[in-house]
Amino acid sequence: MQHPSGERPPRGPGHRGPRRRKRRLLLAGAVVAVLGLAAVPVLKHFGVFSGNGKPMSFDQPRPEGGGAGGGSAGAADPGVRMPTGPPARFTTANTLDDGTRIGVTTLHGKKSGFTGKVWVWAPKEYYEERYAKSAFPVLVALPGGPGYPVNYWMGTDLKLQSSISEWAKSGKSKPFIVVMPVLNADDKNYYDGSDIPGQPKMGTWMSDDVPDLVKANFRTFASRDGWAFMGSSSGGFVGLKQVLQHPDRFKAVIASGPDTRPDSPLWRGHPKEQRANDPAQLAKELLAKPGAPDVHIAFQIGTKESGRAKLEAFMKNYGKGPIKTRLQVIEGGDHNAKTYVRGMDDGTMEWISKVMPGPTPAA
């Protein structure tokens, strides 16, 4: 499995290339082995033994105050989509130093038929009275590796959420709502964020069910301009594919150390469907479509990992017309999540945020 360091294990039997490594371990065992921590503290970090789990709501003020949530306010701007409901049942998974909380809920996907966990964090600004009628941009953050049963971005150790808070203060980033669904249907297979015939519909889970959950519970932008993906390794591939496949729903993606081709062994016997989920093919179709909407792709790669040539080739072949691309090369960076957060700080987040709308305070 992929642990918080971000390294990706083999994707399945017969998979070739640099990811041919030892078979992944169980969740707690893998994290313990890599981080050198005792089992109990690690499991507490992921909420197994901790005091987390209490009911919470994003529609209520934080305990220390900060204004009304968005559940009852009326929108003054037609570009703002107020929560449609029904409200999901969230429990606390983690709490940041500023008092904001990461909530988790179990989503029964109406369109995909898949049931899985989704973690969500709203920035401090979301609770402020001046933004009570404002929409907030959404960043769907995807992990590498199986990403099941835990999406590692829900932890506070990688500092994704706290970094976004700091970047928003300095003007590097919009104050995003961060949504962290499980990436795959289990920890044994990779589904490439796609509807592979005969398998759980993980493509529909990402493109429909997860956004529908967010729309039901948060103030979001009515247009695709306020929706983006961010992911590392296998999660980077899924985010890249989703944006190219659904440019009418998502505007941008930060794809860090990603594959650029679908390569799950589950595609065997389904070449037509595999091709329909290939970012290269999707990019070709987007370039050939008259009046296609712009999409913004920010690639990231560390100097200590492989794959840079593939990303540069993708940009050369498809980074034109409506497909806007950028490559952040992270000096000394490895294939891991902490490296990619550093790359976001070094310029990627600012580039993406310039094309994304932010919340508008009341006059």
pLDDT digits (tens, 9 = 90+) for 301-322: 999 999 999 999 999 999 999 9
CA distance 265 to 37: 33
8 vs 150, more confident: 150
* Confidence band of 150 (pLDDT split at 50, 70, 90): very high
Ranges 29-33, 93-97, 164-168, 332-336: which has the least confidence: 29-33
Supply φ then ψ for residue 46, to 5 degrees: -90, 10
78: exposed, middle or buried (C-beta count within 10 Å: 0-12, 13-18, 19+)?
Answer: exposed
* DSSP string covering 55-123: EE-TTS--TT-----SSSPPPSSTTEE---SPPP-EEEEEE-TTS-EEEEEEEE-TTT--EEEEEEE--
CA distance 56 to 62: 10
Whether 293 and 224 have beta carbons less than 8 Å apart is answered as: yes
Bridge-partner residues for 231, per DSSP?
A: 142, 255
- With a threshold of 0.95, does the pTM exceed it? no
Give the mean pLDDT of the chain: 86
In the structure encoding, which two tokens stand for residue 117, read together? Answer: 């966990």
pLDDT at 16 over 50: no
Structure-token match 């929560």, residue found: 83
* Confidence band of 87 (pLDDT split at 50, 70, 90): very high
Looking at mean pLDDT, say which of 12-26, 51-65, 214-228 comes out highest.
214-228
Q: Residue 66 has what pLDDT?
A: 39
Antiparallel, parallel or unpaired: β 220-221 and 227-232: unpaired
Summarize the confidence of residues 198-217 as an average pLDDT: 98
The string of pLDDT tens digits covering residues 171-203 is 999 999 999 999 999 999 999 999 999 999 999
Q: Residue 290 has what pLDDT?
A: 96
Q: Residue 140 has what pLDDT?
A: 98
Q: How far is CA 123 from CA 20, 166, 282, in A?
A: 39, 10, 33
pLDDT at 361 over 80: yes
Longest dimension (CA), the chain: 60
Q: Residue 76 has what pLDDT?
A: 55
Tell which phi-psi region holds residue 62, choosing left (phi > 0), alpha (psi between -120 and 50) or beta. beta
Q: Residue 15 has what pLDDT?
A: 33
Q: Residue 59 has what pLDDT?
A: 80
Ranges 38-42, 196-200, 359-363: which has the least confidence: 38-42
pLDDT at 217 over 70: yes
